Each structure stands twice: as structure tokens, then as C-alpha cells.
Structure 1
Amino acid sequence: MQTRPHHTFWPRRLPRALHAARTPLWDNLAVNARRFPGKAALIFMGRTLSYAQLWAAVERLSAGLHALGVRPGDRVLLAMQNCPQLVIAHFAILRADAVVVPVNPMNRAEELKHFIVDPDAQVAIATADLAVEIAKASDALPQAQQLRHLVVTQFTDAFDAAALSEQDMPAAWAPWLLPRRELPTLAGGTVHAWSECVACEGAPPVASADADALALLPYTSGTTGQPKGCMLSHANAMHNAMAINAWGNVTPQSIHLVAVPMFHITGMVGVMHTAMQVGATAVLMPRWDRELAGRLIATHQVTHWANIPTMVIDLLASPNVARFDLSSLVAIGGGGAAMPQAVAQRLFEQYGLRYVEAYGLTETAAPSHYNPPDAPKLQCLGIPFMSTDARVIDPDTGREVAPGAQGEIVIHGPQVFAGYWKRPADTEAAFVEIDGKRFFRSGDTGHVDGEGYFFVTDRLKRMINASGFKVWPAEVEALMFRHPAIQEACVIATRDAYRGESVKALVVLKPAQAPVSAQDIIDWCAANMAAYKAPRVVQFVDALPKSGSGKVMWRALQEAEAAA
């Protein structure tokens, strides 16, 4: 591999490239169930699930899925917040040689239709609080496109509600986590209770998928509106799981706080698969709560915590932070947004922790860049990760630019996806060949400093970053056009002191409509799209500026908002 300036800061204990295992992802869990049968794999709501127990549940559910007709290569929807059932279902789908389609649990029925139709899914697995939306989405589709089976779990399938202590769960979560909800009905299909499927006594299916088989189909949006499926193989995710463990000194004795969502590529590959690959323990949080996070770190002596900076800011702002014993932490870091200098300085001065930022996309199975643990730079993507060649090129000529010059970040490595599901034209446009190698075009504008560290400075793609969640304006606009009063809408970013950016919509109303307020539009959006996508600010305008070709000049509106 060509020597580059960042190799000066490369961790001396590590090779520059990694020879990753050529086994399927589920095999990591099977191996560790034999190695560490009694060791804690997952801790959730005061209950511990050992590696042997976890693997046994995976085997039973994979047999249950096979009995429902799931076959190699089939796509299975998985919609849950962090809980043991998500991990069991994820690995059971892989164990059945099928493909996991992770769905953001904040999506509503109107959005969920696409995740059923586009991957041609016939089976979905969800927690009971989300199953109603999935059934509603499926029922609204033509019969040929509807789900055939929906497996539903209650949160309390994973823990004993009667044994919970006040320390295990915030009181505000009780109405969400504790009720046992009725199962929905599915037009043209069957709804199954989780308890029945994990009690399947049939033999698990014979596994035959190799490392290059499709394993994960997470969706990412873009400038076209509809989300696109990213085809990730077992090998793509395996490389990053092993490399993250090597980079971060993760061992079987490590204990992760899993506060980032595991439906997202960072939580899925960057935390869940890394933990299961090495045999570490994962302490699961179904959603963020700073007081619970502080207690869990102290109680379970958490060593590794991947997060987004807003979580750290929130925890340090707690009036109880001094009572939490955070001394067990040895590694803390994340991405999705820049870590403020003052917060990073406090982490180092009070706890001796260097915040290590990383960069990656759904298309790169989480990190393509990572800051060296012993030489991190703040508000920096880091350096190209193990086995990775990344460059900054002139997007027009494809030539690499000089240090300090702006260009598009492109990435080549074993973690880079094969392409977009059923979208050959988008796949072709997403890659460029340089020096005989296929590089993924990130869509991010950045530069490399004189020491080889990468920085993002702008976006070629139109995107809003709200607390690490990527919001694609074209997708939000497409949903807003379904409102009967909206004639036109343009979605832009507005500054937000806590989230970094929030979503703002400039709206032109149809003439002769019944009166509608900005709050009416905000409420409608909140009911019809994921919370992080829904506009928090709506501004009515008489018209949107347009170019000579009739396209809305969103960039001019964005620049005006930034100037204001």
C-alpha cells in the first residue's frame, strides 16, 4: 500500500491492512457461544442473556423463519429500538441465509410502504409498538405487494417487569415498555407472536451463504427522494467489525454501552457486530436517557461507548454527573456531528478520555476513516481506516487535489458496498475508477491537511444533519406534497443550538384552501413521517425562487437562511 502522510500517525501496534475472516457474520456469534457459553452477551433492563442463551434463541428463531417460508436471499424487515429481540432477530435472519432490511422505528406507515415494496419483502419482525404501523403500511398496498407474515414481540418478552428496579428504567418509559399490546391484523397475511416463533422445535436450516453473499440492505436517501437500498455483504461488515475491534483495543472483557440505535449502520456494524465478533458484553439502551446512561456505565463498569456528541454534552450537563462513576471508560468516540472543543477538553481534563471521531456512510458499512486513538484531532474525520484508500479529488476531472485544496472525498476498501438495490444507474454514478481501482463517491466536499487527516467542509449532496441523523430534503418534500393544502414546498436546514441543524420548510399554499396554520403543517408532518425528518419550522411564502429551467433554487434559500 502506498505510503501517505497519515501513516506517520498510524498506531504502531496495527498493520495497515486487515485480512478479515471469510465466514458469515452469524458464525461470530456461534463461535463465541462455544467459547464463552456462560458469559454475558447482552444486558437489558436488569436481565442478562448469556452467549449460549443468545445463540440458542437465534437458532430457534431461524428455524421459525424457515417454517414461515424464509429462504436464502429473501429480504426480511426488522423494525425495533435497541432490545435483545433486535439482536436475536438480526442474527436469525442471517442464520437463515436471508437478508436483514433494518428499518428506522421512527418511520410511519406512509414511509414504511417503500421498505416493503422496494426490497420485495414478505416477512417483517417488529416490536408491538411499531407493528401497527407496519400492518397499516402493508394493508394499504396492492395484494401482490403485501406482507405474508409479521412476527411481533413485546418488550417484556426480554425482561421480567415485576423484577425491575427504579434503577433499571426511567419511570417515563413505563407506558412504552411495560404494556403487552394486542397483536394487529394483517390483510392477506398472518401475525405471529414472538414467543411462538422462538419456541420452534424444528431444525435450523442448512446454511450455505458465503462471505460475498448479500447480508444487509440498509436504506439511505439522497437527492431523488426515495430511499435506496445499500447492498452490503457479510465480508463488508466483517472487515469493519474486526478492524474496529483492533483499532479500539476491544477484547472479550470489554463492555459496550449501546446507546446509538442498532437499526442504523453505526450501531449495527460499529457496535453490535463488533461486540458479537470479539465476544464482548453489550449493555443495551432502547433510547437515550442521560441519567440511565450514567447509572449503567457505573453499574456495569462500561469500558467502550460509541455515541454522538449530543449524548456526551447531555450527560455532562446532568446535575448528577459527579455522582456517576465513569472511571471504567477507556474509549469514547463517535461521529455524525463534530465534537465541540470545550466538551472534548472537559472529557480529557476530568476523565483522561480523548474523544475519537470517525467517519463513514451506510455505503461503507460504518467507518472508512478513524482518528488514531493516540493522536486524534477534533472536528476531524480522521485518517483512512485499515485496508482503506481514500482521497480527495476534483469532482469534474477525477484527479487527486493537493493538500488543503477542496474536492470530493472518495473511498476504496473491502467495506465499500456493491451498489444500490435494483438501481444500476445510481450505482454506476456512485463510483469512479482511479488507478485501476473502484472508488465510492461520498458526495462530501472536504480536504486533507498536511499530515493526511481528512476534514469535511461542505456537501455536494443536499442533506441536513440533525443530531447525526441524515435528513434528505427531497424525501421530506415528496411526503409534504401529499398534504391537501400544500402547492409547493422547499426543505432547508436551519441552525439548532442542540441538534446542530433542524428541518425548516418553506411552503406555498394552494389557493382557495381552508385556513391552515404553520402548526397544522408541523403536526401533519409529525404524524406522517419520522420525527427527525419532520419540519420543526414552517414558513409560508407566496412563491419559491426558480431557475430558468423551472427548478426550485434551494441553494439560494439555504444561503439566505444561513446568512440570517
Structure 2
Amino acid sequence: MPAWTTSDPVALHARTQPDRIACVDLATGRRWTYAALDEAIQRAVGVLETGHGIEPGQRIATLARNSADLAVLQQAAMRLGAIFVPLNWRLASAEKQAILADCDPVLLLHDTALEMAPPKGCMSIEVAAFTAAVEAQVQAPRRSLPASDAPSIILYTSGTSGRPKGVIVTERNALATAVNFGVLGRVGNASVFLCDAPMFHVIGLITSLRPPLLQGGTVLISPGFDAGVTNRRLADPALGVTHYFCVPQMARMLRDHPDFAPSNWTALTAIFTGGAPNPAANIHWWLAQGVRMVDGFGMTEAGTVLGMPIEADRIASKAGSAGLAAPTIGLRIVDDAGRDVATGEPGEIWLSGPSITPGYWNRPEET
């Protein structure tokens, strides 16, 4: 069978609604319409290709906090067929070196001084310098997009097994997650996402970016989470945030902050949580404040898997649950022999569908 080419929602919306705001970098105030974002991505393709000699399949690593520049870089790598590898900048130097040795990048972008030498054969450049080069670059000629099942992103996650494994994310995987979260979370053309979860994590890089970009919505990118700043942004009518995805610990910090004023979150559809258990009592507390807290379950290896409904009464009746399977997810709960268990019986979750990773980078035996 021939491979399906990658979808490119930014390029699509640059033609269907060129003047709509696609992305805002909250640290700098820079804003991109879909037409401008599409052009910036294509200029970044030129910088990667002619300025750095990047070829399809090669890895581009980053050690940098959230910015719209990283989103532009990832989309440019996607169009070129290169593989984007954002590293957790919180890791110790030895852990970063082990990951860089595993993914073997040819280019490393960073926003602070490097505390170690880049791997042999790897160029390094500051994010600000790359951004300046993009602004000065002439657009590269457009070409056929790579196959949707080719590796596009590698996200390193340790899970419960110790040494981090690189989860391969294809564009087919990312698109399926955008559909899955978009359906469960009621994402549409008018949606405005606030992204302050780290973009080296699936929540920040995939779930907070791909659903709104697929629908032609708006992404507000923050360098990172700050409870006071996030509270004020959720209450800012000029921003009009409709969707905010965080882990339960971040939600707890929001409610404990002096600036917590959920009555002012008038545009918000819901706070979406995942990544850790969320007790029923906590869900009920948020509902009492007039905020729908929509819990779910996902994995770096599978994207969005489960999600609660948006309706407050449905949330209340099943508080503590991780919700229902997303539309492209096939799900079974089985016993040790692989047989489906009865309702209410414990078992192991088996998943299938287009959002599921094809495997771990350099670790076929663990896939």
C-alpha cells in the first residue's frame, strides 16, 4: 500500500482563514495569523535545509522552555521530514547526555548556555539566533510532505522502567490525538488554548497544540507555569481562554493562590486534567466553584485515550473516573490469558488505533 502523506492543518487554514490568529507568544507578545505562521514555518524549513543542511530522518533536539519558536521549529521539521526531539531541560547533565547519545541529533537548539558539549557531529545554536535567521530567510520552495507514518517527534519518557525511552510519534499519531481530544473536549474554530505545560511533554507539545491548530483555533504559548500568572490569564477577557490542560498538582496550586477567582473564568469550557489520579472529592470541589474539571487518561505512547464528558452533571455522577474511550481508540480490559473481563472486574488495558506509537527509538525489544 502507498503511504499516506502528512496532513498540514496550518497550511490549510492559511488558505481558508488566513487572517485568523493562530498563535501568540505570551512572553514576547508576538502574534501570528495562520498566513503568517505558515510563512514562518516555511522560512524555517529554508533555514534548516540551506542554513544547516538538515535532511529527512535526521534529528533536531532542543533544550529550551516553551515558546512559539519551538512550535515553528517542530512544524518546519515535520515539513522537511526531520525528527523533532525536545529534551526535558530539568534533567541532570548526565541524563541529558544519555538522551542525546541515544537520539544522535545533528542540530541542538538551546535558550541558555549549554552546560555540556553537544554530541560529536552536532551543531548547536541559540533559539534567539535561529529565530533571527528565520525572520531573515526567504521562504523555501514547498515540496510533497513526508509519509504520515514516518517518525516525526521523539518524546523521552521513563514511565516505570527507569532509563528514559524515546517514544516515536508519527504525524498520523499526532493527528489522531488532535481528533481524540478535540471530540472529547469540544474543540472548535473559536477555541483558545493556554499552553504552559512543558513542550517536552505530550501534554504541552501535542495535546495543547494540535487540537486547536487542527480546528483553526488559537494557541497561547507561555514559557511555563506560574500559578499567579495563569490565574490572571484564565480571568483575562482579552485572552478569552476556553481550554486549559494541566496535571492535578498544577490545578491545586491555582486554587491555593491568592489570585484564584474562578468566577472570572467566563470563557473557559473546562480545566482538563491528566497525568495523576484526581480524587472524586477534588472534582466535586471544583464543580462547586462553577468550574468543570474534566479528567482523562493518556500516555506518551498513545496520546489521548479516555476523557470525561463536558456536562457538569455527568462529571458529578462519575467523579473520579477517567472517562470514556476517545473515538479512534480501540480498548479492551483483559485477564492474564487475554480474555475480556466482566464489568467491574480488574484487568489490563489493551489499546489499538492510529494514535498508538509504532515503538521506542532504538529499543525494538521493549516495543
TM above 0.5, yes or no, is yes
Is the 8 Å Cα contact of residues 295 and 324 (structure 1) preserved in structure 2?
no
Distance 1:295 1:147 in 2: 44
Segments of structure 1 that go 5 or more residues without pairing to the other structure are 1-21, 139-144, 155-191, 428-564
User: What's the counterpart of residue 72 of structure 1?
Assistant: 56
- The reply to whether residue 52 of structure 1 matches residue 35 of structure 2 is yes
> What is the CA distance between 1:347 and its match in structure 2?
2.4
User: What's the counterpart of residue 284 of structure 1?
Assistant: 221
- The reply to whether residue 335 of structure 1 matches residue 309 of structure 2 is no
The equivalent position to 1:152 in structure 2, one of 126, 133, 145, is 126
**C-alpha distance 319-291 of structure 1, shift in aligned 2 (>3 A):** same
Distance 2:207 2:323 in 1: 16
User: What's the counterpart of residue 9 of structure 1?
Assistant: none
Is the 8 Å Cα contact of residues 22 and 216 (structure 2) preserved in structure 1?
yes
**C-alpha distance 237-322 of structure 1, shift in aligned 2 (>3 A):** closer
**C-alpha distance 74-81 of structure 1, shift in aligned 2 (>3 A):** same
Segments of structure 2 that go 5 or more residues without pairing to the other structure are none
**C-alpha distance 202-293 of structure 1, shift in aligned 2 (>3 A):** closer
Letter of the aligned partner of 2:126 in structure 1? Answer: V
> What is the CA distance between 1:91 and its match in structure 2?
0.8
| Secondary structure, aligned partner of 2:73 | helix
User: What's the counterpart of residue 113 of structure 1?
Assistant: 97
- The reply to whether residue 389 of structure 1 matches residue 327 of structure 2 is no
- TM-score normalised by length of structure 2: 0.89
> What is the CA distance between 1:411 and its match in structure 2?
1.0
User: What's the counterpart of residue 22 of structure 2?
Assistant: 41
> What is the CA distance between 1:232 and its match in structure 2?
2.0
User: What's the counterpart of residue 242 of structure 1?
Assistant: 179
Q: Deviations over 1:444-496 (max 9, x none)?
A: xxxxxxxxxxxxxxxxxxxxxxxxxxxxxxxxxxxxxxxxxxxxxxxxxxxxx
| Secondary structure, aligned partner of 1:230 | strand
User: What's the counterpart of residue 98 of structure 1?
Assistant: 82
Q: Deviations over 1:333-378 (max 9, x none)?
A: 1201223434422322232x321111111111x2111223233333
- 1:84-483 alignment to 2 at 5 Å? 84-127=68-111, 129=112, 131-133=113-115, 136-138=116-118, 145-154=119-128, 193-201=130-138, 203-204=140-141, 206-222=143-159, 225-299=162-236, 300-322=239-261, 325-351=264-290, 353-364=291-302, 366-374=303-311, 375-376=314-315, 377-395=318-336, 397-427=337-367
- TM-score normalised by length of structure 1: 0.59
Is the 8 Å Cα contact of residues 358 and 370 (structure 1) preserved in structure 2?
yes
Is the 8 Å Cα contact of residues 58 and 105 (structure 2) preserved in structure 1?
yes
Report the count of equivalent residues. 355
| Secondary structure, aligned partner of 2:203 | helix
Identity %: 30
Bigger relative contact order (CA 8 A; separation at least 6): 2
Is the 8 Å Cα contact of residues 235 and 262 (structure 2) preserved in structure 1?
no
| Secondary structure, aligned partner of 2:78 | helix
Letter of the aligned partner of 1:99 in structure 2? Answer: I
Is the 8 Å Cα contact of residues 66 and 204 (structure 1) preserved in structure 2?
no
Once superposed, which parts of structure 1, at least 4 consecutive aligned residues long, lie more than 6 Å away? none
Distance 2:47 2:301 in 1: 31
> What is the CA distance between 1:197 and its match in structure 2?
4.3
Distance 2:161 2:272 in 1: 32
- The reply to whether residue 31 of structure 1 matches residue 12 of structure 2 is yes
Is the 8 Å Cα contact of residues 231 and 261 (structure 2) preserved in structure 1?
no
Distance 2:98 2:352 in 1: 30
* CA-based RMSD: 2.1
| Secondary structure, aligned partner of 2:301 | helix
Is the 8 Å Cα contact of residues 75 and 101 (structure 1) preserved in structure 2?
yes
Letter of the aligned partner of 2:327 in structure 1? Answer: M
- 1:509-524 alignment to 2 at 5 Å? none
**C-alpha distance 202-291 of structure 1, shift in aligned 2 (>3 A):** closer
Distance 1:320 1:233 in 2: 40
Q: Deviations over 1:277-311 (max 9, x none)?
A: 11111122211112211221222121111111222
- 1:498-513 alignment to 2 at 5 Å? none
| Secondary structure, aligned partner of 1:132 | coil
| Secondary structure, aligned partner of 1:94 | helix
Q: Which has the larger radius of gyration?
A: 1
| Secondary structure, aligned partner of 2:110 | strand
Q: Deviations over 1:114-172 (max 9, x none)?
A: 22221221112222x2x513xx142xxxxxx5243223124xxxxxxxxxxxxxxxxxx
